[in-house]
Structure 1
Amino acid sequence: MTTAYADEPSPEPLHEWRRRGFTIAEARRWIDDGFSIGNAERWRGSGVYTAADARSWRTAGATPYTVDLWLRAGMTPRDAVRWREMGYSPEEAADRHLAGERPHPRGLLWRLLHRGEPPGGAFADEERSHSMRELLRAGIPAGRARAYVEAGWTGAAGVEWAERDIEAGQAQVFEALGLSAREAGRVLASGQDAISLMTEFWRAGVPIDEVADWRAAGFTGEEAARLRAEGTGVEQAKVLRALTDGDEP
């Protein structure tokens, strides 16, 4: 039985299929599934070599022009359908599949933030997919890259932090305090994390917007507070910070 599709022309005669490199059996299968020679050739040129597979991919929403993204990620048509049903864009589904994830529902927070948006159509999805690709392209391991994307890092902004193996949440705090990835690495190497750093300076009474300059210059919260009380301003700490910034991590 031949399946007819409104957007497909009538299949060409069998001899034309044979002339284009198809066997009679192959031609009949493509024809039965409603494919023209041109469309069958496009599917085969995209890496989908049988009518059954092309039919499955078509059902999953792919075309000969878009299926390559999913094929390169090692996905099956069933995978594509499941990711789409969970609300993921094709790009994000491919990124997550490559990272070893299995299709899973969006978290409650994501659903609350994106309620009313069509599944897979949120701009955030496009941005997250782009960010994931940037991190993977930079050689960041998939698990770490995924953590950065989930934490809200966009584009290539998280690459330097991820390269230093700084946990994504800590990286956000360090960045909010005004430290660079290299400076944050030094803080962590000293045995202090982002939260304890922020708490130390807060308890010492040092303004939050001065933390990065004092800490990067090598001062503790207590030392910074004492120097401030003695009249030493943050400008001097900035000078020391600039000199320190040229040192190796």
Structure 2
Amino acid sequence: MKKMITIISIAILLSACSNTSAGNDSELLVSAASSLTEVMKKMEEEFQQVEPDIDLSFNYGSSSKLRSQIEQGAPADLFLSASVKDMDLLESQQLIESVSISPFAENRLVLASLEEFPESVDFEEVVMDAEETIAVGEPDSVPVGEYTRQALESQGLWQPLEGRLIYAKDARQVVTYVESGNAGLGIIYSSDAVISREITAMLEVPGQRDPVVYPGAIVAASENQQAAAAFLDFVTGPTGQAILEDYGFLPGDGKTP
């Protein structure tokens, strides 16, 4: 992973991509992690105030699924990932523009519930004493599930809880399981808990080694790289960072974790 886009590197990238101008009519195809669904609606609204000629089209899913689509040649101009690993895999195959890689946000895992937790309760007490099922992301194919398994394994809780887990295809489905009552508890991103109208309680999940880093990068096969660079620059800029903060994300630190 490279450092965050600098003004110089953006200028180099833009000058190298002469096929598309950010000021021309164009459709920008953005493959974005499902946990970015709500914040990207606001991001699109604000971006089009400054770039009205760029139409944004989003493809949401788990980062691993989106990475696989890019590997298979599916059309995409920009990849906004919730997984450094998936971005690294694309970079190793030269499928994204390395100079454009930019960590634009961070997140944390929380245990979420529709019911308030008792005061002074700790995480292990809640998950071990509860009778409810617990929704988590599929650990072998979904970043939020992989992060969850790592955290629970570090606390010696993964195997004791395995029989009570419901697996979801992406981060948004974990939230849906909790909001619908199909799971009594769920391990989700803190940003999803912040924007949920139904979730009223959350506890930070112990055992998280590092924050969840969200890197963005321009797809090498894109024929719309200038527009992609313009939107990524907006996301990493002051307005984009303020929007991300409003939706419960932590600011990206601009460097590889």
Where on the TM-score scale, by shorter chain, does this alignment land: which range?
A: under 0.3
Q: Which structure is richer in relative contact order (CA contacts within 8 A, separation 6 or more)?
A: 2
TM score, norm. by length of structure 2:
0.21
Tell me which protein shows more strand as a share of its residues.
2
TM-score with structure 1 length normalisation? 0.22
| The structure with more helix, counted as a fraction of residues | 1
